[in-house]
Amino acid sequence: MPARTFEDLLAWQRARDLTREIYGLTGTKPFRYDRSLVDQVRRAAVSVMSNIAEGFERQESVAEFGHFLNIAKGSCAELRSQLYVALDADYIAPDHFNRLKAQAEEVSRITAGLKSAVSRRKEATAR
């Protein structure tokens, strides 16, 4: 059954879970005192779920949705990179880092799968 709203998309649901985790992490000591990194990490996480939602809702074209999914994947990579900064600054324990990194990788894979499905749909309708 096709998704009727962006909330139905597994990619968005997992991105929401990741964002919740990121907000929890960035509210802890000593991370919360590095306000610029907190802001960047939160923005990257929110960007993932926001671009999935915006692309789904706009759907002026399948290509446009794919573009928004690419942006979401880029934000996942940005978030993973920022998690390394947090790890190197001792704001996050290695096991917590590994769990969040794995979550971000999962969101990226699911988003890539959604993009592939959208592309296949575009090809099928073009025939």
Q: How many domains does the chain have?
A: 1
Q: Tell me, yes or no, whether 14 lies in a domain.
A: yes
**Domain containing 95 — which CATH number?**
1.20.1440.60
Q: Tell me, yes or no, whether 34 lies in a domain.
A: yes
Q: Tell me, yes or no, whether 74 lies in a domain.
A: yes
Of the candidates 49, 48, 35, the one whose C-alpha atom is nearest the C-alpha of residue 91 is 35
- Write out the residue range of the structural domain in which residue 43 sits: 8-126
CA–CA separation, 15 and 124 (whole Å):
28
Q: Please report the pLDDT score of residue 124 as a whole number.
A: 66
Q: Tell me, yes or no, whether 79 lies in a domain.
A: yes
Q: Tell me, yes or no, whether 3 lies in a domain.
A: no
Q: Tell me, yes or no, whether 2 lies in a domain.
A: no
CA–CA separation, 42 and 19 (whole Å):
7
Q: What is the pLDDT along the chain (127 residues), one digit of tens a residue?
A: 688 999 999 999 999 999 999 999 999 999 999 999 999 999 999 999 999 999 999 877 788 999 999 999 999 999 999 999 999 999 999 999 999 999 999 999 999 999 999 888 766 666 6
Q: What's the predicted TM-score (pTM) here?
A: 0.92
CA–CA separation, 18 and 24 (whole Å):
10
